[in-house]
Structure 1
Amino acid sequence: MASFVSELIGSGDLCDDHHNASSEEKGIHRLLACKLASLHEGQGETEEGGKPLQLGEDSSSESSSESESDNEEPEPEQTNGEPGGPCTEVSAQTEEWEDKELPKDHSHSELKKIQPYCEHCNAENKHNEQVTPRLLSQEQFLLKLDTEGTYQCTETGLIFEVNRKVDIKYCVLSWSKYADLVVKPWVVGGPLFDVKCDPTCLTSIQFPHSLCLGHHDANMTFRVLHVKSSGALLEATVDHSTTHVKWRVSSLSPVGPVIQSEETVYHHGAVILYKAIDHNPSLSFRVYIATNNESFIKDISKSVKHSSKKFMKIDKPPVCQKLLQNGKKYRLISEPEAEITPEEIEFVDGSLLKLKSYIEVYLEQPVEFKLLLVEMDSEEIVWKAKLRECDWVQHDQNQNVSKRTTNGNRRRKMTGSLPDEDVYDKRMKQVDTSDGAKTRTLLTDAQLITLAAKLGKEWIKIAIANLELEIGDIDDIREKKEDVTMCNFRVLKKWQEKERGNATAENLYKCLKNVTGDVQDVLKGFLQER
């Protein structure tokens, strides 16, 4: 067995690449320089975080890969064992996240465990008590367990063995940030998780894996990669089954299953579909072929989110009916015929790859069609789906209905004399409908810079708890290694991009209502400028 390199994780960050900055970003920097000349708060302060680790595998086999230039990560540097590496970063982030529960009807299909169709893998773990966690903000889960026992999370497939009452908070992480820690012959076996609770309350954790063992697991070795502040360790497992890898809890930080095998590895697969949203009558889709691994699927979602185009997820049964193998070639077929690029691919488990491969499907006319994924050697159908116009038209109609409902709820008039706080609360709900349409003043970059200087050092907490940004957005900002004011400004810009036409002073006032300091006074000034 090859030895595993226990590589210490550094705490350095990326520097911003000004040579590759867009003209818009250069303009923002110039504007920032002018505004910050008179602002001294936050100068020289830098919010430093752990450096995301670089990929450890060759991505040369990818085709039609999306370039996530905004999320490029540097080659990891050797360190001298300084604390504060990625795992410390993740732990600190988790502690900062607010226990903000999402609505009960909130859809979370991106991370919900996809049950594989396999005669070997669906018969086990039925005896464990099934529990549904609370879904918190920023894709966190929370389980409140009242007594000792063995419990299986219905959302992620994790199985917790606890010895007393405990609250467990956990989330799915990306393997690509830790790719250089997975050294051949070891390969990813399932999702990577960050679990937070009192470790003395947890006896063991069983991690779901994405492999089909069938009758071929005799020559497989399972371990759990445990990323600690001092480095990464390969820790022994207690046992493994056709669906899970059991690990005795020693301490808690990023952990996930890895394997090495002398035989062919078979993966449970999933096909994830996204449709480009634009005003063209033609149809354009991205087809991602992935292992049934939540870390991989989360990475795909993030990749689509950071694309220059806007996409919607098409809800079709994702599970492959035939197992996927590394090195096998597959072809995507459309009926009727469509432009498919590339026409065939060689499958690789892309869990460790920063760039996620996809196949593009293009049709000039919006017609119903079938997609079939075929294994080229055997000509067997691995996956198929029929796509109908209602799969995406209904989504657009729902969006329009939602907007009309929201607009109707906001048509209120402010009457009488009210205290200052109530006046501003009412103004946030005011809408000028004199011409039959909403007319709202969006915030300018100059206003955002002014506000950024007042937000203080807690920009990560504000970004997550108040502005509901994604962890990917936080990582993007942190990687630039800029001063606190610039980090605050970028947070506000991310919020502005997310809200689009709703990025008004009124809405920002509402989001930052519980932030202390001069923030409220600045926002009230913006409101009075209307």
Structure 2
Amino acid sequence: MKLQSSFEEFTPDFTGGGEDDEDDETYWLRCSSPGLYQCRVSGLVFAMKGEGDVSYRIVSWSSRLLSQHGKKPAGPLFDIRCQQQSVAQLHLPHCEIRSTGGCTYLSVAHIGDEGIEFIKPEEITETHVIINITGFSAFGIVKDKDSPPDPVQALVLLFYKPPAAPYVTYLCLLKALVRMFLKLPAPPNEPSRLNVLLLPANVVIRDVKRKRKEFYGTETFIDAPQLCQLQPNQFYTLSTDPAGDSVLIQPTEAEFDAESYNNHLTSIQRENTGLSADEQLREHRTKIINGISEANLKSLLDKLLEINVISDAEREEVEEKKIRDKARLLVDTVRRKGDAASSEMIRLLCELDPYFSEHLGLM
């Protein structure tokens, strides 16, 4: 994202966000003179009126809060701080296509301790929304809830997941010994997976990669051409070559959600054939309901909420039930959301209780 004005690009310093750090990663601009400074990672531009250290991090939107004001997210929400108060203007990257009129519905939400206010932009360029600021806290671009679903600039991101190493449990070892004794063939290898994400173009790719690593482990990010135009609420399909029985696409189509700033789940997954995650949950539904422990069910609820597979309201509804009814409602709620959500539930269940998951045949 390039501005027409003169500016200086910088690569920020990073603090926090490590494997053992519960806080979000913080970016730093350390500025020694006035000018325009654009972050290579986030696309943010700071108009500095003097020396100062600016810290900024990505925080989660409250969709409920925005809905109360007839708004929806149209960019990441940045928590910005500057002790020297030396930031005069903030340029936030947008993903609208100006020729369609989408910029007309943009404003900037400023969320602080005293509530939320909506700032009218000083200017909207081809790439950025520009506002004057005096105070600091969270800033993010929003759009009118009832704005037309015009096409936006979007990213198609690819993450490759190699075959997973099996969990080493007593049952695994016993199975291996039986196979050796009876001279049975080894089980088929785990499938490799290509995870495809459809996201608005102004997401911060570094943040997407960091959060996916936190939740899904090691993946290889495929740096292929990414930018395109997608229609919000439109369904897209993934075609592969070669196609056939050796390849499974799930789900067969995925909706592009232009508000996906908190959610970095896989949109479409390409893997070897076998039962889909939705089919696995359906096949093992009764055994999961009857066999999952209350402690693991609670942890599963927490983790599914963390990665936005379920909502706060859905979690509260589950927690009101008794243990077996909780499990039944959770399995059915996730299964109805499709293969991507079902796959995440299976993955988390395997992490929480590998012995139980292996007994079910999920591993």
1:116-159 CA distances to partner (integer Å, 9 max, x unpaired)? xxxxxx5x335212222222332222111111122212221111
The aligned residue for residue 76 of structure 2 is 191
Asked if the contact 1:150/1:162 (under 8 Å) is kept, the reply is yes
State the shift of 1:207 in Å: 0.6
Q: What is the CA–CA distance in structure 2 between the aligned matches of 1:199 and 1:238, rounded to whole Å? A: 23
Does 1:157 find its partner at 2:43? yes
Q: What is the CA–CA distance in structure 1 between the aligned matches of 2:149 and 2:73, rounded to whole Å? A: 14
The aligned residue for residue 220 of structure 1 is 104
State the shift of 1:191 in Å: 1.7
The aligned residue for residue 129 of structure 1 is 8
3-state SS of paired residue (2:64): helix
Q: What is the CA–CA distance in structure 1 between the aligned matches of 2:30 and 2:122, rounded to whole Å? A: 25
Does 1:288 find its partner at 2:197? yes
Relative to structure 2, which stretch is displaced further, 149-158 or 331-340? 149-158
Assess, with a 3 A threshold, how the Cα gap between structure 1 residues 352 and 165 changes in structure 2: closer, same or farther.
Answer: closer
Q: What is the CA–CA distance in structure 2 between the aligned matches of 1:187 and 1:349, rounded to whole Å? A: 10
The one-letter amino acid of 2:223's match is K
The one-letter amino acid of 2:13's match is R
1:63-107 CA distances to partner (integer Å, 9 max, x unpaired)? xxxxxxxxxxxxxxxxxxxxxxxxxxxxxxxxxxxxxxxxxxxxx
State the shift of 1:197 in Å: 0.6
The aligned residue for residue 236 of structure 1 is 120
Given the alignment, which residue of 135, 140, 144 partners 2:30?
144
Q: What is the CA–CA distance in structure 2 between the aligned matches of 1:294 and 1:352, rounded to whole Å? A: 7
The aligned residue for residue 438 of structure 1 is none
3-state SS of paired residue (2:100): coil
Q: What is the CA–CA distance in structure 2 between the aligned matches of 1:318 and 1:194, rounded to whole Å? A: 30
The aligned residue for residue 170 of structure 2 is none
Q: What is the CA–CA distance in structure 2 between the aligned matches of 1:181 and 1:361, rounded to whole Å? A: 36
1:7-42 CA distances to partner (integer Å, 9 max, x unpaired)? xxxxxxxxxxxxxxxxxxxxxxxxxxxxxxxxxxxx
3-state SS of paired residue (1:182): helix
State the shift of 1:233 in Å: 1.5
Asked if the contact 1:169/1:197 (under 8 Å) is kept, the reply is yes
Q: What is the CA–CA distance in structure 1 between the aligned matches of 2:76 and 2:205, rounded to whole Å? A: 8
* Aligned 1:501-520 pairs, distance under 5 A: none
The aligned residue for residue 324 of structure 1 is 230
Q: Which runs of 5+ in 2 are unaligned?
A: 18-24, 166-188, 274-305, 308-350, 352-363
Assess, with a 3 A threshold, how the Cα gap between structure 1 residues 354 and 281 changes in structure 2: closer, same or farther.
Answer: closer
The one-letter amino acid of 1:239's match is E
Q: What is the CA–CA distance in structure 1 between the aligned matches of 2:93 and 2:40, rounded to whole Å? A: 12
* Aligned 1:444-459 pairs, distance under 5 A: none
State the shift of 1:281 in Å: 5.7
- The size of the alignment, in residue pairs, is 241
Relative to structure 2, which stretch is displaced further, 234-243 or 132-141? 132-141
Q: What is the CA–CA distance in structure 1 between the aligned matches of 2:45 and 2:265, rounded to whole Å? A: 29
The aligned residue for residue 252 of structure 1 is 136
Does 1:359 find its partner at 2:268? yes
Q: What is the CA–CA distance in structure 2 between the aligned matches of 1:284 and 1:251, rounded to whole Å? A: 46
Q: What is the CA–CA distance in structure 2 between the aligned matches of 1:267 and 1:218, rounded to whole Å? A: 8
3-state SS of paired residue (2:109): strand
The aligned residue for residue 179 of structure 1 is 63
The one-letter amino acid of 1:247's match is I
The aligned residue for residue 522 of structure 1 is none
Assess, with a 3 A threshold, how the Cα gap between structure 1 residues 200 and 284 changes in structure 2: closer, same or farther.
Answer: closer
Q: What is the CA–CA distance in structure 2 between the aligned matches of 1:140 and 1:203, rounded to whole Å? A: 21
Asked if the contact 1:174/1:296 (under 8 Å) is kept, the reply is no
Assess, with a 3 A threshold, how the Cα gap between structure 1 residues 172 and 166 changes in structure 2: closer, same or farther.
Answer: same
Asked if the contact 2:102/2:150 (under 8 Å) is kept, the reply is no
Assess, with a 3 A threshold, how the Cα gap between structure 1 residues 349 and 125 changes in structure 2: closer, same or farther.
Answer: same
The one-letter amino acid of 1:326's match is P
The one-letter amino acid of 2:80's match is V
Assess, with a 3 A threshold, how the Cα gap between structure 1 residues 137 and 186 changes in structure 2: closer, same or farther.
Answer: same
The aligned residue for residue 239 of structure 2 is 333
Assess, with a 3 A threshold, how the Cα gap between structure 1 residues 180 and 125 changes in structure 2: closer, same or farther.
Answer: farther
| Aligned-residue CA RMSD (Å) | 3.0
State the shift of 1:251 in Å: 1.0
State the shift of 1:264 in Å: 3.7
Q: Which has the larger radius of gyration?
A: 1
Does 1:207 find its partner at 2:92? yes
- Aligned-pair identity in percent equals 22
TM-score by length of 1: 0.41
Q: Which runs of 5+ in 1 are unaligned?
A: 1-114, 116-121, 365-471, 474-496, 498-530
Q: What is the CA–CA distance in structure 1 between the aligned matches of 2:133 and 2:257, rounded to whole Å? A: 31
The aligned residue for residue 180 of structure 2 is none
* Aligned 1:7-26 pairs, distance under 5 A: none
Does 1:170 find its partner at 2:42? no
Q: What is the CA–CA distance in structure 1 between the aligned matches of 2:197 and 2:118, rounded to whole Å? A: 30
